[in-house]
Amino acid sequence: MKISEITVPNHIPFELLLTADPNPLLVRQYLQQGRCYAAYDHTDLVGVYVLNRNSPQVNEIINIAVQPDYQNQGIGRKLINHAIVESEIQGCREVEIGTGNSSIGQLALYQKCGFRIKAVIKDFFTNNYPEEIIENGIVCRDMIRLSRSL
């Protein structure tokens, strides 16, 4: 599997990014600020993430997503490790990631990748998304912010 930056804007897999964040306005905003990386199985695009510089030494992984048929095969973990190495190369000291309080699998994955909970943005999802989000039988209200030191 190869992971590389997407430099041609119309090669960006917008629909796949929307599986990580259903708000298209926010996804477009993140794409304007950040760099988009994709994982390929031969020529098939199987995963994607956006890496954004939040402050001089802090990157954030935004909108990480793996094609449903390819999930639970370690690709998400490989994308996160790629973001960590890329951030080290860029001279960062920390990588952040945010997810919903209801995203149990994502919270497990990020902690398995060495991220620790840093903050909670209360009511982030109820304030920024018009439709109620329910996952694992839990209403998604708050954003859990996690970070990993490099």
Task: Give the footprint of ligand COA on this chain (CB under 6 A).
Answer: 19-20, 64-66, 71-77, 99, 103-106, 108-109, 112
Rounded to whole angstroms, the Cα distance separating 21 from 78 reads 20
39 vs 92 by CB, closer to ligand COA: 39
Specify the residue, 32 or 72, whose C-beta has the smaller distance to ligand COA.
Answer: 72
The distance of closest approach from Cβ of residue 10 to ligand COA in the complex, given in angstroms and rounded to an integer, is: 22
* Residue whose CB is nearest to ligand COA in the complex, by number: 76
Q: Which is closer to ligand COA, CB of 64 or CB of 92?
A: 64
Identity of the residue, 112 or 122, whose beta carbon is nearer to ligand COA in the bound complex: 112
Q: How far is the CB of 91 from ligand COA (least distance, A)?
A: 25
CA distances 87 to 12, 53, 145, Å, are 21, 9, 18
Output the smallest distance, CB 105 to ligand COA, in A.
3
As measured in angstroms, the least distance from the Cβ of 70 to ligand COA is 7
Minimal distance, residue 65 CB to ligand COA, in Å: 4
Q: Which is nearer to ligand COA, 20 or 50 (CB)?
A: 20
Contact indicator for 16, 67 with CB cutoff of 8 Å:
yes
